[in-house]
Amino acid sequence: MVVLANPPAVDQIPLLRSPGPTDTFAAVPVVDLSIPSAARAIVDACERFGFFKVVNHGVDTATMDRAESEAVEFFAQAQAVKDRAGPAYPSGGYGSKRIGLNGDMGWLEYLLLAVHNASISDSCAVPSNAAFRAALNESIAAVRKVAVRVLEAMAEGLGIAPVDALSAMVTEQGSDQVFRVNHYPPCPALPGLGCSATGFGEHTDPQIISVLRSNGTSGLQIDDGAQWVSVPSDRDAFFVNVGDSLQVLTNGRFKSVKHRVVTNSLKSRVSFIYFAGPPLAQRIAPLPELLREGEESLYKEFTWGEYKKAAYKTRLGDNRLAQFEKS
């Protein structure tokens, strides 16, 4: 018999200030992937915010919509049915409210899926529903292509060769890719407090880049360097985050963006995120072409496997790179 711990109640979820109209990040950098200046625009956005939105990416909206409606059906099932698809850690599956293994909690439920090549790894039995799995595999393949195009354009914008210098790290055999499906149910308003429950607490992503697509419900916020700003949702676009590994590969030139999700009291948010990570043995160190004469690495040497292991021991909001910075 599987005994499940009681799910945490809303009063165990940390609160965040509810976003107001003036918090909107109106200046989200928008990169049109179909034009040659995309390469330069990506580099600019990664230097300024570590975050941008991609349009004209070539992915049919219907592909993402199909996966989204299957996800909505999955999450609408009885809790006992969903719990049978858990736990999320260590090898992929369903999780609810508890994020990671170190006590972080948010008002969400999710599927965490290991990806092999361009589809859910055979070692991951979840989801077992064939139609849902097929729809997810189609969207994983599509989002991964966007990640590869973005990384190729980034290499071009940075002036590094060959064109797949970055993208090969996420397409080669053994690359460590993860796909996450998040569902944030509406969270009852907390009258008079001006606060909302945390959907997903503040963190940076440890991988190279993450590519996100959500339904039309806002909630994602990024730290723009001065304050938390709300990213207007756009179901036809993808949003790209620079991860910790890319910050190191560029010796701090690109910023690993801090982000979080605030819940909505009326509408649910569904998001898909593809985390593009390299093979475990990949050395993560500044690319020599990016170091100016005499410039030294800001970081100690490590592999992706070492970084991932260290990251798993931390809380979401910890500065995970700190222990790898040279003093």
Of the candidates 28, 64, 136, 273, which one interacts with ligand AKG according to CB under 6 A?
273
In the complex, what is the shortest distance from the CB of residue 258 to ligand AKG, in angstroms, rounded to a whole number? 10
Please tell me whether residue 105 binds ligand AKG under the rule CB under 6 A.
no
In the complex, what is the shortest distance from the CB of residue 243 to ligand AKG, in angstroms, rounded to a whole number? 10
In the complex, what is the shortest distance from the CB of residue 85 to ligand AKG, in angstroms, rounded to a whole number? 17
Please tell me whether residue 96 binds ligand AKG under the rule CB under 6 A.
no
Q: Rule CB under 6 A: which of 213-242 touch ligand AKG?
A: 214, 220
Of the candidates 261, 276, 284, 311, which one interacts with ligand AKG according to CB under 6 A?
261
In the complex, what is the shortest distance from the CB of residue 69 to ligand AKG, in angstroms, rounded to a whole number? 17
* C-beta of 139 vs 271, nearer to ligand AKG: 271
Of the candidates 200, 228, 238, 254, which one interacts with ligand AKG according to CB under 6 A?
200
In the complex, what is the shortest distance from the CB of residue 237 to ligand AKG, in angstroms, rounded to a whole number? 13
* C-beta of 184 vs 254, nearer to ligand AKG: 184
Residues 147-186 as x/- pattern, contact with ligand AKG by CB under 6 A: ---------------------------------x-x----
The residue length of the chain stands at: 327
* C-beta of 182 vs 250, nearer to ligand AKG: 182
Footprint on this chain of ligand AKG (rule: CB under 6 A)? 180, 182, 200, 205, 212, 214, 220, 259, 261, 271, 273
